[in-house]
Structure 1
C-alpha cells in the first residue's frame, strides 16, 4: 500500500476535507466520500454489482490481484487506509460512504456481457438442442427453448418478473446435460447446481449471483410432496433477505431461472392439478451433431451467438411480456407432449377403459364411480366425485363437458354430465317456461305407445 499511495495527492485531498475547530478531520460520510472520489488510489475502485447485491472492487488495489467482491478483509484494508492517511476512524461512516460510492457506479455483469455481443444473423435457438443434445429441430422444441431463454433474459432486465417454468432435459447419462446449462449461463460463476433444499432459511444465499440454477438432484428424487414444494418455489418472484451489516430485511427480486435434467423418462409425479411448471424435452445423445465438450471454446462461442440472437428478438419486440406467453395451441401441444414424462395415473386409465367400452353418449361422475369401479355398495363422497370430475376434465380423451342431463334409465336422476365427442348434443333436459321438459330422441323411443280405442281394430 505504501508504494501505491501518492503522498502529494493525499495532501491535496486533505485540503478538501472538513475539520473541527481543533483541526482534526471530521469523521463524516461526506469526508469519506471526498477521499473516495479524489484520491487516485481508491478513485473508481468499486461498483455495486446488481446481480450479486454486493460491492465489487474493480481495479487492483494493495490487497487484490483482480476483480473481487468487497469482503471483511477488504473493509479492514479500507479502514486502515482512511485511518493511516486521513485520520478518519468511523467504521459506520466508512461503510455508508463505500455503499454510496458503489451505488453511484452500479452495473450488471450479465447485461454488460450480453450488450457487447453482435449477432452474425445465423439462427441457433432452433438448432442448439439438436446440435449438442440430439433433440428434434422442430417448431415445438424451438418455441419451448425460446420461451425459456426469454424468461432468463427478462429476469435480468426486469428482476422479479414472472418466470415459473423449468426446462427439463430428459435423456441418457453422460450426454452433457449439466454442461449444457453451465455453458448456457455464459460464465461458470453465473451457473449453480448447489440447490439441495427448497426450505433452506438461507435460500437467497444459494440464488444470489447466479443466473441459471440447475436442480438435477431434486428432479431425480422428485415425489408428489416435493413436486408441490417445487411448484410453490418456482412461482416465487422474490426472496426476503438481510445482509449482515444491514438493519432491516428486504425483498430481493429474483434474477435467476431454474432448469432440470434427469435420466428417468417418467420423472413427473402424477398430479391432477397439472404439471405446467415442467417443460420437458427428450434428448438422444446418439443423434447429437457433436458432444458439447468436444471443443469447449467452439461451444462457448456458439452460446455467445445464441444469446446474441435472443437479444435481437428481445429488443426488437415492442410488447416484451408477449415473449413470456405460449399461445393456447402451444399450451395444448405442451400438455399433450408432457404426458409421456408423467407417471401413470391408474384411476384415469380405468375410467378411460370403461368409457371406451360404454355405449351411451352421456355419463356423470356418480355413474362412473359406481359402474367403472363397481362401487354399488355406497354413495360416493364429495372428494371422490371431485376427483372423477378432475380426471374427466383434464385426462380423458373423446369426451367433453355438457349440460345437466337426466339419467332416468340409469337411476342417477339429473346430473351434470359429459358427452361423447361427435355425439349429437340433444339437450332438452331443462324445463321450459311452462314447466315441460323436452325429451331426447332416445328418451322418446322408450315411452310406451298405445293407440286410442277408436283407432284399434
Structure 2
C-alpha cells in the first residue's frame, strides 16, 4: 500500500497586500504541489480555476478565456484543493517578471545582489513561497534570460509567478515601470554569469589555437570590420537568409533581433543561439577560439552555418552585398586565395586605403542595381535560379528593397497596416489595403521576376514585414509631453463646457481622463462608466470628444450586440452614442453587459475563428432630452452633465497636458473611479433631474405612504411595514388577477418602483407565508447597494440586473 505524498506546508497568501492593478486582471490560476518522476522535489503545477492543468499555448484565446481574476481564483483556492494562487504573464500584458532564487544568506539577511536588484526595479516585490527567493513585477517589455548560477531570471509574455503577498521590506505597493537601463543591466548581469560558467568549463587555449582563430589580417582587414558592423546594424538583411526560417524574431533589451533554438539547429543542447544588436551569443558552443564567453561575430555564423562559405574570405564575400558594403578589394576565397593581390587596393603595395572612384558613365556603376542585386542574393531560389513563390521572399523584398524599405507599418492601436510614404505605384501615405497587395505583386514581378500567384501569400509577407515595424499612435500622443505639474484634469470640464466648478465636475472630469488613458495604456482594464453631455440641439456637444480623440473617434450608431459595431469600436478611442438612441432601444441586461465588457468577441468576415480583443475605448453619450434615465436608483455607470457652451480651442490648447497629467496619476496608482460615498453624495443626486419616473411609482407612493386610517380597525398604511403582492395589484394599482401578464413585465415594474420607494421583496415566515414587499429602515433604504471596498472599479457581478437606467 503506497504512502500518501507529504508536501511542504504553505501559508495562505496575504490577500490585502496584492496590488489591485494585478488583482483585477484576468490572468490568475491556482496551483498545487505534485510529484514528478525523476524530480528531487515536488513541482508547483498550475491549474485553471474551473479545473484542469494549464496546458497548451500560453496566451492563446483558449488559455486567456480560462484564466480568472484574483477574486475568482481566491474562491477556487478556498475550496481547499490547491496550495495557492499564481499570476500568469501573457503576450501584450506589458509586464516583466524578475525572479531571484536562493538569495537568503545563512545569517538571515538578503544578498547584496538581491537588495541592489530590488532597489533598482523599484516596483512591487514579494518573498517567494520558500522564503529564500524574491519575485518582482515591473511594467515593461524584454526578452527572456536566465542564469541558474546566480539565481536570476528575467522573463516576459510567458510563465507564471506564485503569489504570497508577503511584501519585500520597503518596496512599493503597486507595479511601476522599469527603466530601460535597469533592464539592460539585468541582462548583462545574467550574461556575465553565463559567460563565467562557460569559461570555467572551456579548456585552456593554446597559442596555436589562438593564432588559428585570429581574425584575418593584412589585406581586407578593414572590410571585415566594416561588414561586421553593418551586419550587426541590419540583422534582418542576412539572418533569415542564413537560417532559412529557423530563426524566431525576438525583442531584446537592446532592440529587435532573433533567437534560433538548438532543436532548429539540429543539435542536442539546451542553449539557444541569440542574435541581437548588442551582440551574438551562442551558449551551446564550448570551444570558441578567439570568441570570448560565447560571443560570436556574423562572420563566425556564416562560416559555421553556410556550407558554401567555410573560410573567412568566403563568408565575407557572401555577407558583404547583403548588408550593403562594397568591398575595397575582391575577397580572396578558397579558389583565388593564392592569386596575387592587385596593386593600389587597401592593404596592397600601392599604398592608399580608399577604393578607386566610380566613373559616373560606367555601365557597371553599382548604384540602384547594386541594391537590387543585394535583394536578389538573399531570396529563396527554386529550379533554374528563379525566386520562389513564397511569403518569405515577399518579406525580404519589403524589408530590403530601397524603394519599399520603411513603406509598411502596423498600427498597434487600430490593428491596421499603413503606408508611411508614397508607394512606387503612385498611392500616397494612408491605409494599406487589398489594392496595395496587388500592386506590390506587380512591382515584385517587374523588379525581381518574383511571381506571387496567391493574394494570401502577398498578404502574409506584408504582415510579417509590418510586424517588425509597429507603433501605437495613442501611446505617442499620451507620452508626447512631460506633465508640467499644473493640475488641469479636475477643471477641464469647467474650462471646455463652461459648467459650474463643483465637487461633482471635478470628480467625473478626473476619473474620465484617467480612465481614458488607462484604457489606452492597458486595454481591457475595468472602466464601465459613461459620461453623458446634455445640452441644446446644435451646441456641437460632440465636437470636444472628437477633438480629444480624432481620428480615433466615432459617433456612428453603436448597436449593442452587433458584430459590425464591435469591429468598428476597435478603430476608436472614444465611442459616442449620439442622442443615446442605440442604448435606449436595447434591453437592460444587454446594455449592462455592453458597458461592463472588458473584451470584445467577434468574428471577422470569412474568418475561421472568433477574435477576442481587449477593449481600448471608452463610451460617452450626448442628448438634448430633458429626461433620459429611466431609473438611476443605485446605478453608478452614468455621469450626466448639463452644458450650455463648448470651448473647443481651450481643449486643443490643453489636450497634451491633460493626457500627460492623467498618465502621471495613473502611473502613481491614483484611483480613477468614485468611492461609494462619492457616488451617494455626488453622483446619484446629479442623476435625479434626468430620471424618467414610472407613473406606477407615483401611484404606489400615494397608496403605501397614506397617513390616514382606511377604517377604524387598521393602522395608517404609512406605518405598515409589509404589503402582500396581491394587495399591490388589487388595491394600489386596481389590476385584477385576470389582467396580470404572464411574462412578468408587471412584476418587474412593481419591483423597480417598490425598490425606489424603499422596499425589498419579502416572504412572511409564519401564517400564510404571503409574498410581498417589506419596508426597509430609512437609513438602509437610502444607502447604495453594498459592494467591496475600494480595491478597483466595481464589478459587474455586484449589481442587480434591474438597476439599469435606460
Alignment TM class, shorter chain as reference: 0.7 to 0.9
Residues 354-401 of structure 1: CA distance to partner in whole angstroms, max 9, x if unpaired?
A: 3433341523343544553456989989955665444333x125x678
Contact 1:207–1:256 (CA under 8 A) maintained in structure 2: yes
**1:146 aligned residue (491, 510, 518):** 510
Shift of 1:220: 5.0
Taking the TM superposition and a 5 Å limit, the aligned residue runs for 1:220-369 are 223=584, 225=586, 229-236=590-597, 237-242=599-604, 248-270=609-631, 276-285=636-645, 291-293=646-648, 296=649, 298-317=650-669, 323=672, 325-333=673-681, 334-357=683-706, 358-366=717-725, 367-369=727-729
Residues 125-179 of structure 1: CA distance to partner in whole angstroms, max 9, x if unpaired?
A: 2222212212232222222233333332232223233333321101223333111
Partner of 1:454: none
Partner of 2:128: none
Residues 326-363 of structure 1: CA distance to partner in whole angstroms, max 9, x if unpaired?
A: 31123334234323212121111222233433341523
**2:392 aligned residue (13, 30, 43):** 30
- The answer to whether 1:6 aligns with 2:368 is yes
* Structure 1 residues 199 and 368: CA distance shift in structure 2, 3 A: closer
* Structure 1 residues 247 and 359: CA distance shift in structure 2, 3 A: closer
* Structure 1 residues 39 and 419: CA distance shift in structure 2, 3 A: closer
* Structure 1 residues 405 and 354: CA distance shift in structure 2, 3 A: farther
Contact 1:369–1:385 (CA under 8 A) maintained in structure 2: no
Distance across 2 between alignment mates of 1:160 and 1:64: 39
Partner SS, residue 661 of structure 2: helix
Shift of 1:123: 1.9
**2:436 aligned residue (69, 74, 80):** 74
The RMSD of aligned alpha carbons is 3.5
Taking the TM superposition and a 5 Å limit, the aligned residue runs for 1:42-441 are 42-63=404-425, 66-90=428-452, 91=454, 92-185=456-549, 188-195=550-557, 197-198=559-560, 200-217=562-579, 219=580, 223=584, 225=586, 229-236=590-597, 237-242=599-604, 248-270=609-631, 276-285=636-645, 291-293=646-648, 296=649, 298-317=650-669, 323=672, 325-333=673-681, 334-357=683-706, 358-366=717-725, 367-373=727-733, 383=744, 387-393=749-755, 395-397=756-758, 417-421=774-778
Partner SS, residue 202 of structure 1: helix
Shift of 1:189: 1.3
Shift of 1:311: 1.0
Worse-superposed segment, 368-377 or 208-217: 368-377
Query: Structure 1, unaligned stretches of length 5 or more?
Result: 286-290, 424-457
* Structure 1 residues 338 and 389: CA distance shift in structure 2, 3 A: same
* Structure 1 residues 190 and 364: CA distance shift in structure 2, 3 A: same
* Structure 1 residues 26 and 141: CA distance shift in structure 2, 3 A: same
* Structure 1 residues 170 and 228: CA distance shift in structure 2, 3 A: farther
TM-score normalised by structure 1 residue count: 0.75
Contact 1:354–1:372 (CA under 8 A) maintained in structure 2: yes
Worse-superposed segment, 196-205 or 301-310: 196-205
Distance across 2 between alignment mates of 1:64 and 1:248: 35
- Which has more helix, going by share of residues? 1
Shift of 1:9: 0.5
Task: Please identify runs of 4+ aligned residues in structure 1 that moved more than 6 A.
Answer: 375-382, 399-403, 411-416
Partner SS, residue 640 of structure 2: strand
Shift of 1:100: 1.0
User: Which protein, 1 or 2, shows the higher relative CO under an 8 Å CA cutoff with sep ≥ 6?
Assistant: 1
Residues 40-65 of structure 1: CA distance to partner in whole angstroms, max 9, x if unpaired?
A: 22222222112222111223332467
Residues 281-331 of structure 1: CA distance to partner in whole angstroms, max 9, x if unpaired?
A: 12233xxxxx424xx3x53121222112111111111xx8x53x4311233
Residues 54-78 of structure 1: CA distance to partner in whole angstroms, max 9, x if unpaired?
A: 1112233324675311112221221
Worse-superposed segment, 195-204 or 300-309: 195-204
User: How many residues were matched structurally?
Assistant: 397
* Structure 1 residues 32 and 351: CA distance shift in structure 2, 3 A: same
* Structure 1 residues 349 and 97: CA distance shift in structure 2, 3 A: same
Shift of 1:248: 4.4
Partner SS, residue 52 of structure 1: coil
Contact 1:224–1:271 (CA under 8 A) maintained in structure 2: no
TM-score normalised by structure 2 residue count: 0.44
Distance across 1 between alignment mates of 2:697 and 2:544: 36
Shift of 1:225: 4.5
Distance across 1 between alignment mates of 2:500 and 2:523: 32
Contact 1:405–1:414 (CA under 8 A) maintained in structure 2: no
Distance across 2 between alignment mates of 1:77 and 1:229: 44
Query: Structure 2, unaligned stretches of length 5 or more?
Result: 1-366, 707-716, 781-806
Distance across 1 between alignment mates of 2:523 and 2:777: 47
Residues 255-291 of structure 1: CA distance to partner in whole angstroms, max 9, x if unpaired?
A: 222211111120223588x754432112233xxxxx4
Shift of 1:182: 0.8
Partner of 1:16: 378
